Amino acid sequence: MSLIDKLDHNRLPCHIAVIMDGNGRWAKARGLSRGEGHREGVGAIRKVVEAASKASVQYLTLYAFSTENWSRPSEEVDGLMDLMVYAITRETADLKKNGVRIAYIGDMERLPENVCAALQECIRETAGGERLTLVLALSYSSKWEIAEATRKITSDVTKGIIQEKDINEDTISRYLTTRDLPDPDLLIRTGGEQRISNFLLWQCAYAEFYFTDTFWPDFGEEELYEAILNYQGRERRFGKISEQI
């Protein structure tokens, strides 16, 4: 029996964000190259996107490459960029067929031109998808995003587009790259580390965190449902007390 049958469909997380970690260690344990770990990781993405869609999750955000990841050895960075182009191009038709809309968060200016082009083509092609929004966080970091938002807010105050007195939490949310997305309900990190690595710091203010030792290439459909089941066993109080919920 699949764990999907155990999910409470009235209490599904609307938005799941995932820190896909452990590709390198997965490969190392098998005597393979880190690149092979990343290639295997793409297979896990396919499985998890399908599973999320099957479980009627509406938004899935995947942390694929952080601002800090630019500091990795150049062969690994180049290999990852080539893999992105290959995977995005290959998957576009299926994503479209399955009603998956692709969205992007991150610093596109740092991405190589072929990655930008593949991404933009995929975003255009899948724009009509209504089943699941799949957000790719690529060359993304939360501190970068918050600094960008601060610069834009300051500039708009100077231009008189917004008033300083009107700046509140909603204003900040509207200037982040995630402006069109609800905040994540559930944040999953694979690979055993229990840290957030500069991912969605503002947006995860009230997310439920789920850490698993499973390396990303081994994470699949049932592992996703297990994480959702764990989430459904929690009480989200948002500062209130149990009796108020």
The span from the CA of 16 to the CA of 228, in Å, is: 9
Pick the binder of ligand IPE from 191, 200, 217, 223 (CB under 6 A): 191
Known catalytic membership, residue 168:
no
The span from the CA of 19 to the CA of 215, in Å, is: 11
Q: Enter the tokens of residue 37.
A: 């770990």
Assess 197 for contact with ligand IPE (CB under 6 A).
yes
Q: Which stretch binds ligand IPE (CB under 6 A): 13-21, 95-103, 123-131, 172-180?
A: 13-21
Tell which residue, 235, 229, 228, 233, has the closest CA to residue 18.
Answer: 228
Assess 208 for contact with Mg ion (CB under 5 A).
no
Assess 21 for contact with ligand IPE (CB under 6 A).
yes
Q: Which stretch binds Mg ion (CB under 5 A): 17-25, 71-79, 126-134, 205-213?
A: 17-25
Q: Tokens 């600094």 label which residue? A: 147
Residue nearest to ligand IPE (CB): 24
Pick the binder of Mg ion from 15, 18, 20, 21 (CB under 5 A): 21
Pick the binder of ligand IPE from 30, 195, 234, 237 (CB under 6 A): 195
Bridge partners (DSSP) of residue 19 are 63, 189
The span from the CA of 17 to the CA of 196, in Å, is: 11
Partner that binds at residue 67, options Mg ion, ligand IPE, none, CB closer than 5 to 8 Å by kind: none
Nearer to ligand IPE, 13 or 191 (CB): 191
For 104, 116, 213, the CA distances from 23, given in Å and listed in that order, are 22, 23, 12
Bridge partners (DSSP) of residue 66 are 140
Partner that binds at residue 197, options ligand IPE, Mg ion, none, CB closer than 5 to 8 Å by kind: ligand IPE
Pick the binder of ligand IPE from 13, 24, 106, 217 (CB under 6 A): 24
Which contiguous run of DSSP H or E holds residue 66?
A: strand 59-66
Residues of the shown chain interacting with Mg ion in the complex, contacts defined by CB under 5 A: 21
